Amino acid sequence: MNYCSHCGSGDIRLEVPEGDNRLRYCCPVCSTIHYQNPNVVVGCLPVFEGKILLCRRAIEPRLGFWNLPAGYLENGETVEEGALRETREEAGIEVSIVRLHALYNLPRVNQVYLFYLAEMPHDQFHGGVESLEVKLFSPADIPYHDMAFASSTFAIRQYLDHLHSDFHGVHVGKWE
């Protein structure tokens, strides 16, 4: 950070503010502390007749790899609204959220993923500008070797591993 977004000063310092325990960017001119917090990524695990909907990414990072429809939560959205929006934008379908399915922590890159289990009302969908292709996969055909991110793989594996169990809680994972 080179300039204070509050007052425009170029005298930004990395220091531990009084009463805090972490290094923060601080402006000595206006006393603004610039907190940098993790990004929240939201998405859905859409299911239709036992098949899982995946999108092939049309953007970097991981262009050409498969992923669950997901993206950054926008200001002013609930996590559910963001997950539904991302699914609509990337897969061209309106889904119904069943429940929160997985929470995946990525502390190295300052991200937290929330995936909702979602029901698809039909098998009519289309890719948006961020998707090269959208496709339903049977569990045996999930392209694990071509998945874009470990967060999607985690959510899918947890879904399939617990498909016939009584567990309906949230699966929590972490990228090491």
pLDDT level of residue 126 (50, 70, 90 thresholds)? very high
Q: List pLDDT tens digits, range 135-167.
A: 999 999 999 999 999 999 999 999 999 999 999
Q: Tell me what the pLDDT averaged over the chain comes to.
A: 97
Q: What kind of fold does domain 1-36 have according to CATH?
A: Ubiquitin Ligase Nedd4; Chain: W; (2.20.70)
Q: What kind of fold does domain 39-174 have according to CATH?
A: Nucleoside Triphosphate Pyrophosphohydrolase (3.90.79)
Whole-number percent of the chain with pLDDT over 70 = 100
Q: Is the pTM of this model over 0.75?
A: yes
pLDDT of residue 175 exceeding 90: yes
Closest by Cα among 59, 57, 82 to 71: 82
pLDDT at 176: 79
Mean pLDDT of 113-141: 98
**In a 3-state reduction of DSSP, which class is residue 39?**
strand
Is 91 within 8 Å of 18 (Cβ atoms)? no
Cis peptide before 69 (omega within 30 of 0): no
